[in-house]
Amino acid sequence: MSVKALKGFKDILPGTVETWQRIEQTGRDIFHRFGFFEIKVPILEKTKLFQRSIGETTDIVEKEMYTFADRNGSSLTMRPEGTAPVLRAYVEHALHVKKPIQRLFTIGPMFRHERPQKGRLRQFHQMSVEVLGTNHPMVDAEVMGMAWLILKELGLSVSLEINSLGCPKCRPEFNQALLDFLEKRADKLCLDCQRRRLTNPLRVLDCKSQHCREQYENAPSILDHLCPDCAEHFSSVKKNLDLLNVPYSVNSFMVRGLDYYTRTTFELLTDNLGAQSAVGAGGRYDGLVKQLGGPDVPGIGFALGVERLALLLEHEGLSSEEPQVDCFIAALGDEALARAFVMVNALRMRGLRAAMDHQGRSLKNQMKQAGRMKARYALIMGEDELEKGEGILRNMENREQQNVELGGDSSAWSTMIKKILV
């Protein structure tokens, strides 16, 4: 029996990979425009990194992490998100010493043991950014505007929901109000929420159960409990979003699934992915760097889900095509095949995509192959053509043909072909 990939782990095949590449290129390009530098961090980290940052009582840490003992017994975890590893690297390499404000992005796979469904995998990919060293509300708006721009340049429209989760000063008061509210309805909540109510009350607002959501419709709003500093920060974030013309709505129930968030949180949502409505999400995490043993610097970041972006692009008919071959050389006979072998190489060295059929099958077969490769041009070269020193260059789109000199020197020849093709 053949071995199959794991459930929730997916191969990204040619034909789909091109859409992924466009997503990543668009991301990289825009990250660079906003002054971000790429960082690559390991997939495996010590488990305590995620326990300490994401929070022990979050869904991710409680039930979604791929955690196992290394051969020497230490507990390792395959990263479920990118912020903790990037901040670990930031602290470990003292990046804050080099520049007061740091802008980092990373692109790669994340792992969560979730129930796989459309747009929800166990290995999925994120493009994520972190801005460290400033809590200026302009930066919150700038970062959301950047996420917005990526979606816009991809041709997608989503809605932006924002909220503020306050800070350690105002959170306890809200927690108490929420606790009082929940206590009165404890028996109506799902088992998870009954437990969360006691361990991490804010988490209940993140419950996916429709029944619980209905219960929380009249729950106290965190926005009514912000301290003056946090209220001022939030109102300034909104003003700055207006200045950038980024449309948003406020959702005071959005709490996000990670404990480290403070103040601004946001999600980019779509109606076109069924239950998986968020294509990206993020927020501010002002105490996190310190909590991970680093300097007391604030930070904000977000992650976009590449699978969900690819699904959306497909849904909108915006998937990318496999790249075309510029020139397919259809050679007939041993002598022509040997020539073609050198000519294909010369074209490639000139920066063109070139291909041939080394088997030298029938002309009909070779032209079919050129068609399958979506070749823009085919150069046909049989014994007669070799004798005349001229091949037939066919434009595969409009079927026009022209004779081209095959010439002696493959470098001069490929330069001539390149001129015709571009």
| Choice from 308, 339, 376, 394 touching ligand ATP (CB under 6 A) | 308
| 300, burial (CB in 10 Å: exposed 0-12, middle 13-18, buried 19+) | buried
| Choice from 84, 127, 303, 367 touching ligand ATP (CB under 6 A) | 303
Q: Shortest approach of ligand ATP to residue 119 CB, angstroms?
A: 6
- Element at 130 (helix H, strand E): strand 123-132
Q: Shortest approach of ligand ATP to residue 151 CB, angstroms?
A: 12
Nearest of 226, 224, 218, 222 to residue 184 by alpha carbon = 218
Contact region with ligand ATP (CB under 6 A), list: 134-142, 279-287, 323-331, 334-342: 279-287
Counts for the chain of helices (H) and strands (E), in that order = 16, 16
| 16 near ligand ATP, judged by CB under 6 A | no
| 280 near ligand ATP, judged by CB under 6 A | yes
Could you give phi then psi for residue 368, rounded to 5 degrees?
-60, -45
Q: Shortest approach of ligand ATP to residue 319 CB, angstroms?
A: 18
Q: Shortest approach of ligand ATP to residue 126 CB, angstroms?
A: 5
| 143 near ligand ATP, judged by CB under 6 A | no
**Sign of the alpha-carbon torsion through 16, 17, 21, 24:** positive
Q: Shortest approach of ligand ATP to residue 137 CB, angstroms?
A: 21
Take residue 64 and report the two structure tokens written for it.
């979604």
Q: Shortest approach of ligand ATP to residue 13 CB, angstroms?
A: 18
Q: Shortest approach of ligand ATP to residue 278 CB, angstroms?
A: 4
User: Would you state the torsion angle of the CA atoms of residues 25, 31, 35, 40, taken in this order, to the nearest 10 degrees?
Assistant: -80
Indicate the SS3 state at residue 317: coil
- Cα separation, 356 vs 335, in Å, equals 14
129 neighbors 103 (Cβ within 8 angstroms): yes
Nearest of 160, 277, 142 to residue 208 by alpha carbon = 277
| 279 near ligand ATP, judged by CB under 6 A | yes
Question: Residue 402: how many CB atoms within 10 A of its CB?
Answer: 12
Question: Residue 285: how many CB atoms within 10 A of its CB?
Answer: 27
| Choice from 67, 159, 276, 320 touching ligand ATP (CB under 6 A) | 276
Q: Shortest approach of ligand ATP to residue 283 CB, angstroms?
A: 9
The residue number with the shortest CB distance to ligand ATP is 305
| Choice from 150, 305, 332, 379 touching ligand ATP (CB under 6 A) | 305
Q: Select 121 or 327, whichever has its Cβ closest to ligand ATP.
A: 121
Q: How far is CA 233 from CA 122, 135, 226, 260, in A?
A: 36, 9, 10, 18
- Element at 30 (helix H, strand E): helix 17-33
Question: Residue 123: how many CB atoms within 10 A of its CB?
Answer: 18
Q: Shortest approach of ligand ATP to residue 257 CB, angstroms?
A: 4
Contact region with ligand ATP (CB under 6 A), list: 92-100, 275-283, 374-382, 412-420: 275-283
Q: Select 67 or 395, whichever has its Cβ closest to ligand ATP.
A: 67
> What mask of x and - would describe binding to ligand ATP in positions 79 to 108, judged by CB under 6 A?
--x---------------------------
> What mask of x and - would describe binding to ligand ATP in positions 234 to 263, judged by CB under 6 A?
-----------------------x------
| 200 near ligand ATP, judged by CB under 6 A | no
Indicate the SS3 state at residue 105: strand
| 163 near ligand ATP, judged by CB under 6 A | no
Q: Select 133 or 305, whichever has its Cβ closest to ligand ATP.
A: 305
- Cα separation, 405 vs 392, in Å, equals 9
| 47 near ligand ATP, judged by CB under 6 A | no
| 378, burial (CB in 10 Å: exposed 0-12, middle 13-18, buried 19+) | buried
Q: Shortest approach of ligand ATP to residue 157 CB, angstroms?
A: 16
Q: Shortest approach of ligand ATP to residue 306 CB, angstroms?
A: 8
Question: By CB under 6 A, how many residues form the interface with ligand ATP?
Answer: 18
Contacts to ligand ATP by CB under 6 A: 81, 112, 114, 119-121, 124, 126, 257, 276, 278-281, 303, 305, 307-308
